[in-house]
């Protein structure tokens, strides 16, 4: 390699040969090799061919002046810092400002001074070195962000359900979004959906999504109620988040029978419940709690809001980044425009029309905050079918003499308000038997039996209220009131498991402190099927269990549940 090939290269652009000769001589003494152009057009061509490390640009030239040539050279250089020093005889402020505005980095006044030229070149070299260092740091940060984003996607978003009845989008204001979406089916096939909005946006906000996702998925998979999940997330955030950072949370449970939606709105915009046929907004479910991570303890039961669902109803969830988006004319999108986009969707999907109207409204203006939008269509295709349960022929049982383990649990008084025993019992059964494939069916049986014992036994609620859609909301309102005022009562579980020839059987006995009912003449228990809003759970238990029998005054129920071992 010859000496000249390793010298830095300077591009001299001047239509006067004498000026080029003088500058060439000065640059040679500073160990630069030079290339020369007589006008702006030649300068652009040589810049593309030779890739010089510095450019000396005259202002006034034929064909293309130095201003336009500089603008194009800077565009060609992209992120690389290639200094352009203007050569000018003009010293007035307006002319010098024009050089800087065109993209010039400095200027050299004719006639040239060798020492001034050397100092300007040294200054440009320092800036170029700093620019390369910053570019390297930016590249490293960008790579680390890509890795972090992939981890975030795998840890937080990858576990979400994939269902054509759910449409969602997150548009971050920066690389990472402070908004998060989590979704999971519980063992009872209820859909749990969480929309969260952390303070701010970017990587610092996205990091908070990791512990939230962990708590949400673990507790949902074990069958905990949304109230417990909300408390678990709040506790985790109080341990994890710095002061001043919190999580606006919208936690939704859609019941597996599509009859009810329960909403916990803690510091988020209202959830909208739409009529499936007309897209008219039936309910605005407003926030009634501070965001999570603010207080050490929250009364999650008190913020639950329950509404009946009807065929093809839609739920619309969104973050405040949507309604607080701004147009190029500094106008806010707002709640009214959102609701107009919903009601005027017509044959167009609500989800698509909202996004279309938002894009038309914002134009080229970039987002100031993360925008998240979700539409949940409450149709039969939303909920997965109950997993098939093996039908085992009835056996001759001897639980008292051949049972190999038993379990009992009693909840009394205040504990009935505070604890759902089903996830606890399921956890024990899974620990003893290791029958994960039976979790969903067994969870369904225990949940239905426990809810009946608590609601109709201890609380004395009349299931006939749920036989009419208009009484559905009244039923759950009355349930919350009676549960809050509960002073005495109990529900007891007794489980006994035995081994049969090719299967195992569990006797589930549940007793409650209620008055019981006339189960011998009860319409639901005598019917072979039921299409009303009440009593479906009993029929489901009958399908999943070998037997279902009420005893005593009707406040004791026994079911036998079987599963294959070979």
Q: Note whether residue 71 is domain-resident.
A: yes
Would you state the pLDDT for residue 391? 78
User: CA 384 to CA 391: how far, in whole Å?
Assistant: 20
CATH code for position 447: 3.30.565.10
The verdict on 163 and 103 lying in the same domain is no
Would you state the pLDDT for residue 534? 46
The verdict on 196 and 298 lying in the same domain is yes
Domain count within the chain: 3
Q: Note whether residue 153 is domain-resident.
A: no
User: CA 154 to CA 157: how far, in whole Å?
Assistant: 6
Would you state the pLDDT for residue 565? 86
User: CA 538 to CA 523: how far, in whole Å?
Assistant: 12
Categorise residue 363: left if φ over 0, alpha if ψ from -120 to 50, beta otherwise: left
Q: Which two tokens stand for residue 178?
A: 């402070």
Q: Which two tokens stand for residue 540?
A: 């489901």
Q: What are φ and ψ of residue 410, in 5° steps? A: -125, 130
Q: Note whether residue 389 is domain-resident.
A: no
CB 347 within 8 A of CB 356: no
The answer to pTM > 0.85 is no
- Which helix H or strand E contains 155, and what residues bound it? none
User: CA 393 to CA 471: how far, in whole Å?
Assistant: 39
User: CA 317 to CA 506: how far, in whole Å?
Assistant: 42
Would you state the pLDDT for residue 230? 96
The verdict on 409 and 372 lying in the same domain is no
The verdict on 309 and 376 lying in the same domain is yes
Q: Note whether residue 458 is domain-resident.
A: yes
CATH code for position 339: 3.60.40.10
The verdict on 108 and 165 lying in the same domain is no
The verdict on 362 and 470 lying in the same domain is no
CB 251 within 8 A of CB 206: no
Query: Which residues in the chain land under pLDDT 70?
Result: 1-5, 144-155, 175-176, 200-206, 347, 466-470, 522-536
CATH code for position 61: 3.40.50.2300
Q: Is residue 236 classed as helix, strand or coil in its secondary structure? A: helix
Q: Note whether residue 143 is domain-resident.
A: no
Would you state the pLDDT for residue 243? 79
Boundary-marking domain end, from 382, 410, 437: 382
The verdict on 377 and 403 lying in the same domain is no
Does the N-terminal peptide bond of residue 111 adopt cis geometry, omega within 30 degrees of 0?
yes
The verdict on 421 and 558 lying in the same domain is yes
The verdict on 177 and 324 lying in the same domain is yes
Range of the domain at 40: 3-133
Number of helical H runs and strand E runs in the chain = 18, 20
Q: How far is CA 75 from CA 69, 103, 135, 469, in A?
A: 10, 10, 17, 66
Would you state the pLDDT for residue 59? 87
Would you state the pLDDT for residue 187? 92
The verdict on 442 and 548 lying in the same domain is yes
CB 11 within 8 A of CB 55: yes
Q: Residue 326 carries which DSSP code? A: B
């Amino acid at each position: 390699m010859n000496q000249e090939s390793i010298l830095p290269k300077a591009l001299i652009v001047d239509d006067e040969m004498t000026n080029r000769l003088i500058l060439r001589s000065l640059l040679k003494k500073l160990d630069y090799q030079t290339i020369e152009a007589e006008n702006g057009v030649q300068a652009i061509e040589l810049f593309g061919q030779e890739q010089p490390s510095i450019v000396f640009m005259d202002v006034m030239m034929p064909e293309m002046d130095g201003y336009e040539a500089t603008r194009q050279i800077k565009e060609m250089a992209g992120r690389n810092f290639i200094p352009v020093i203007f050569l000018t005889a003009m010293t007035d402020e307006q002319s010098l400002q024009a050089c800087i505005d065109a993209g010039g980095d400095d200027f050299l006044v004719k006639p040239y001074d060798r020492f001034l030229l050397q100092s300007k070149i040294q200054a440009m070299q320092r800036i170029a070195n700093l620019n390369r260092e910053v570019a390297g740091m930016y590249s490293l940060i960008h790579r680390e962000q890509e890795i972090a984003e992939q981890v975030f996607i795998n840890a937080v978003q990858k576990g979400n359900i994939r269902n054509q009845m759910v449409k969602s989008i997150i548009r971050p204001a920066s690389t990472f979004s402070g908004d998060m979406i989590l979704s999971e089916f519980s063992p009872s096939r209820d859909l749990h959906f969480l929309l969260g909005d952390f303070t701010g946006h970017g990587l610092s906000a996205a990091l908070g999504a990791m512990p939230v996702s962990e708590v949400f998925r673990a507790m949902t998979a074990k069958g905990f109620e949304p109230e417990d999940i909300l408390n678990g997330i709040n506790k985790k955030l109080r341990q994890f988040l710095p002061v001043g950072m919190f999580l606006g949370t919208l936690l939704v449970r859609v019941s597996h029978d599509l009859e009810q939606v329960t909403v916990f709105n803690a510091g988020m915009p209202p959830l909208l419940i739409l009529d499936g046929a007309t897209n008219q907004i039936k309910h605005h479910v407003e926030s009634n709690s501070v965001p999570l991570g603010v207080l050490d303890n929250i009364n999650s039961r008190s913020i639950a809001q329950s509404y009946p669902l009807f065929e093809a109803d839609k739920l619309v969830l969104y973050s405040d980044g949507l309604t607080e988006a701004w147009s190029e004319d500094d106008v806010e999108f707002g709640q009214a425009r959102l609701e107009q986009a919903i009601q005027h969707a017509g044959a167009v999907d609500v989800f698509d029309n909202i996004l279309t109207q938002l894009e038309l409204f914002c134009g080229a203006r970039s987002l100031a905050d993360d925008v998240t939008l979700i539409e949940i269509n409450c149709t039969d295709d939303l909920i997965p079918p109950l997993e098939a349960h093996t039908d085992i022929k009835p056996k001759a049982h001897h639980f008292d003499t051949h049972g190999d383990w038993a379990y009992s649990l009693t909840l009394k008084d205040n504990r009935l308000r505070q604890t759902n025993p089903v996830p606890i019992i399921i956890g024990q059964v899974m620990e003893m038997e290791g029958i994960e494939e039976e979790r969903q069916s067994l969870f369904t049986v225990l949940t239905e039996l426990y809810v009946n014992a608590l609601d109709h036994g201890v609380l004395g609620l009349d299931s006939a209220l749920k036989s009419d859609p208009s009484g559905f909301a009244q039923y759950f309102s009355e349930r919350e009131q009676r549960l809050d005022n509960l002073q005495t009562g109990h529900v007891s579980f007794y489980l006994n498991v035995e081994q049969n020839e090719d299967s195992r059987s569990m006797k589930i006995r549940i007793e409650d402190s209620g008055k019981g009912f006339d189960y011998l003449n009860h319409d639901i228990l005598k019917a072979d099927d039921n299409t009303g809003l009440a009593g479906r759970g009993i029929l489901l238990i009958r399908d999943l269990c070998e037997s279902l029998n009420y005893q005593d005054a009707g406040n004791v129920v026994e079911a036998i549940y079987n599963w294959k071992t070979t």
